[in-house]
Amino acid sequence: MWDAIMEIVAHNTYDLKFLSSDDISYNPALGTGQLQVRDIHYVTLTKRTTWEFCRLLDKKYLNSSKRNIAQWADLAKKYEWIK
């Protein structure tokens, strides 16, 4: 057994809704509702509202999963994304 002490020398914190569209992707292989960030160490920030972020996520999901809006609505109701 080893005992070790780690020293944190730097950190970065990002608000997910401000990550650029190019840095966020939806990968169906990860499972429903899972996002992927391209490289968290090199991101570009884009100022947007929560509504704009929600629309971006919906668009990425629809484009990547090859589902239509009706299928998205069924999932959204099932997982209570919308009420």
61 or 18, which is more confident? 18
pTM: 0.71
Mean pLDDT of 70-78: 88
Q: State both tokens at 45.
A: 């920030």
pLDDT value, residue 82? 79
Average pLDDT of the chain, as a whole number: 88
Helix, strand, coil share (%) of the chain residues, nearest 5: 40, 10, 50
Mean pLDDT of 49-63: 90
User: What is the rounded radius of gyration, in angstroms, for the C-alpha atoms of the chain?
Assistant: 17
